Amino acid sequence: MGNLIHISRKIKDMKSILKIAEALQLISLTKWKGYMQMFQEGADYNAGIKMLFEKFYSSYEHDHKVSNSRFNLGAALVHKFFLWIVIGSDLSLCGRFNKQIVENLIENFDTKRSYLIVFGKKVKSLLQNYPKISERIISFYDSELPQSELVKKVGEITTLLLREFINRGCYYLRLLYRGVDKSFKIVKLLPFTDQSEYFRKNKRSVRYESYDYRMKPLDSVIELFPTYAEQALLIALMESKIAEHDQRREIMSNAIKSVEEKLAEYNLIYQKARQATITQEISEITAALKCKT
């Protein structure tokens, strides 16, 4: 009987764990769908911004070296500092996600010539194990920005980070995050380079003598860059959220399978133990009746 009570408690515990795992999976699935919907609905806008910026950037009239000088990214910047933007996760059960982000950062981070902007408390906490990197953090934001305010917040943050970039005499602007395809991405926003390197395309617009630009490509690139950087940060944040919720959903799915298997095992053990107990009780009753006769 004592064994039956012990097993029934195990079954009860497994059922409780199963309910929690199913609830967490549902939450991650709901949030994953929400961010995926935002990502898909904003795809045309983001593609439009990128296309417009790329058109001006790839113009025969645009010289990336002149654009760099307009951003004070000239030879006068002796040290040429980096400004890294790193996006992590504050979700539970995403320790490996953050660990891999930190590992990627360590591989590329120059502690003497870099500053760091961090999204995510857990990434910031992990970086405390690397004092030479953590002391270079100049700004910190929660990775869980409210969906309803995401676009507005990203606009405000982009303005601040570009101000930091200029004020601290930085030359390189890098964005590190995990994409929808689960790969870790480093986006190089500054300095401007040859368009084939900047966009990873080997294409230059053709010059038509009869075409008259209403806007100068150089001025347009400078004016559009903050919007382009904002769009890049917004995409990075959404892709990161999609990736982390997808990972958490997979973890919960595997946990549910494991719990269900364990629950089935305990149920089988319980049924066998219960059957053995019933058989024993019948045998004892039969033996007692025989003794009376």
pLDDT digits (tens, 9 = 90+) for 28-67: 888 888 888 888 888 888 888 988 888 888 888 888 888 8
Q: pLDDT at position 128, please?
A: 93
pLDDT digits (tens, 9 = 90+) for 214-250: 667 778 888 899 999 999 999 999 999 898 888 888 8
| Domains in the chain, CATH or no CATH each | 61-245 (3.40.1380.10)
The pLDDT of residue 167 is above 70: yes
Rounded average pLDDT over 125-152:
89
The pLDDT of residue 281 is above 60: yes
Q: Is 82 left (phi over 0), alpha (psi -120 to 50) or beta?
A: beta
Q: pLDDT at position 207, please?
A: 46
**In the 8-state DSSP scheme, what is residue 91?**
S
Q: pLDDT at position 210, please?
A: 41
Rounded average pLDDT over 4-20:
83
112: which 2 tokens?
């003497």
In the chain, alpha helices (H): 2-41, 43-57, 64-70, 95-108, 121-127, 131-134, 150-167, 195-198, 217-292
Predicted TM-score of the model (pTM): 0.79
pLDDT band at 132 (very low <50, low <70, confident <90, very high): very high
Rounded average pLDDT over 168-194:
90
For all residues of the chain together, what is the average pLDDT?
83
pLDDT digits (tens, 9 = 90+) for 15-25: 888 888 888 88
- 286 contact partners, CB below 8 Å, separation of at least 6: none
The pLDDT of residue 253 is above 70: yes
The pLDDT of residue 213 is above 60: no
CA distance 64 to 79: 20
pLDDT digits (tens, 9 = 90+) for 85-116: 999 988 776 678 889 999 999 999 998 899 99
Q: pLDDT at position 209, please?
A: 41
**In the 8-state DSSP scheme, what is residue 185?**
E
The pLDDT of residue 208 is above 60: no
Q: pLDDT at position 202, please?
A: 54
Which range among 48-57, 71-80, 99-108, 252-261 has the greatest average pLDDT? 99-108
The pLDDT of residue 4 is above 90: no
Q: Which neighbouring-strand residues pair with 114?
A: 82
